[in-house]
Amino acid sequence: MWTLYKKEIRSFLGSLIAYIVIGVYLVLTGLFLWFVDGNNVFDLGIASLQVMFDIAPYILIFLVSAITMKSIADEKRLGTLEILTTKPISDISIILAKFTASITLIAFALLLTTVYAYTIQNLSNPIGNVDWGAMLGSYLGLLLLSACYTSIGLFSSSITDNQIVALLSSMVISFFFYSVLSMLGDVSWLDSIGRSLSWFGLEFHYNSISRGVVDTRDVIYFGGFTAVFLGFTQLVFESRKW
């Protein structure tokens, strides 16, 4: 598994996609946080990264999908999946290696934004007057959310040998689970059904963890969500055997 993990990381670094993804993420979050009129840190006058944490889940939908679209679809297209799966390594190890490699890349992108956190801390008055709990909670939330997106991305990549199809289906599924379910909670005629449905959405749990209270139920939800989609991916892997 370690060998495959290393190869995946190397192929990220060898292709432009890793740099583009990290660059785009930093530029977009930076723009929204500091420059876009009306909602930036200076307009709001609050020393928090809330603007970034609000927008990041949407940016990540696109970026995580872009990172994962290649991972299995391309192995299928090239036929190398047959080589991988006839080496002494189990299907689930292949999936986990690809999953951890993608997560590593995203975690790195998230880590780079801690520069913003440092800046905010220095801008606050008095210096250091920042809600660290909420900030750490939000970072953890983003990481867990990325894990969910990655598992969706891998699943989408496994059902096709076309990267564009993988990218689009991953974005649609991710958007559905993050946004659409949570919107249903606001539909008045759906009433309590809508609210129950929104509980299944990612945004509900992300918002909850972003407040800085790490509730085990949320963590279990994110973990379970990721496991379910990785499980689906394995099912697709095994479908060649049916």
Partner 1 sequence: MSIEVNTLSKIYGKQVAVNNINFQIKTGEIVGFLGPNGAGKSTTMKMITGFIPPSSGGGTVCGLDFVEQSIEVRKIVGYLPENNPLYPEMYIKEYLQFMAGLSQTNDSKVAVKNAIEITRLGPEQHKKIGQLSKGYRQRVGLAQALLHNPKVLILDEPTSGLDPIQVAEMRNVITDLGKEKTVMLSTHIMQEVEAMCERVIMINKGNIVADDNLKELISKHQTSLEEIFKQLTQNVDTI
Per CB under 8 A, residues contacting partner 1 are 2-4, 6-7, 10-11, 14-15, 78-90, 240-241
CB of 106 to partner 1, least distance (A): 22
Q: Give the integer Cα–Cα distance in Å for 93 and 173.
A: 24
Q: Which residues, other chains included, contact 200 with Cβ-Cβ below 8 Å and sequence gap of 6+?
A: 177, 181
User: Among candidates 142, 5, 135, which has minimal Cα distance to 60?
Assistant: 142
Contact 12, 101 (CB under 8 A): yes
CB-nearer residue toward partner 1: 90 or 129: 90
Please, is 207 exposed, middle or buried when counting C-beta atoms within 10 Å of its C-beta (0-12, 13-18, 19+)? Answer: middle
CB-nearer residue toward partner 1: 84 or 112: 84
CB of 25 to partner 1, least distance (A): 24
CB-nearer residue toward partner 1: 104 or 114: 104
Q: Which two tokens stand for residue 135?
A: 């900030």
Q: Give the integer Cα–Cα distance in Å for 109 and 4.
A: 21
Tokens 């190398």 appear where? Answer: 80
CB of 7 to partner 1, least distance (A): 5
Q: Give the integer Cα–Cα distance in Å for 69 and 155.
A: 9
Contact 30, 57 (CB under 8 A): no
CB of 125 to partner 1, least distance (A): 51
Q: Which two tokens stand for residue 4?
A: 């495959």
CB-nearer residue toward partner 1: 191 or 241: 241
CB-nearer residue toward partner 1: 217 or 240: 240
CB-nearer residue toward partner 1: 86 or 125: 86
CB of 40 to partner 1, least distance (A): 40
Q: Give the integer Cα–Cα distance in Å for 107 and 88.
A: 29
CB of 87 to partner 1, least distance (A): 4
